Amino acid sequence: MIVRSKNAPEIYTREKCFITELLNSAEVGSLSLARARVESGVTTELHRLNVDEVYYILEGEGSMQIDNQPAKDV
């Protein structure tokens, strides 16, 4: 599958971050690919999805919690 996301809009979400959906459709089933941008000093809201998520951090640092595991520095 080849995906071009050049014109995908960046949207501010209720989780307090900016999301650009790169891949999220019925064609790919339970896969979602998005670019997330979090402003410095912001704590995002917890959320739960019914799709797999993979995080690849490009820059910066923070703390991340997955499922019921303790939060970890990333």
Q: Output the pTM of the full model.
A: 0.74
Q: Strands, E, within 4-53: which ranges?
A: 10-12, 18-23, 33-37
Which has the higher per-residue pLDDT, 30 or 19?
19
Any idea what DSSP says for residue 73? Answer: E
**For residue 15, what pLDDT band results from cuts at 50, 70 and 90?**
very high
Query: pLDDT digit string (tens) for 40-62?
Result: 999 999 888 777 777 888 899 99
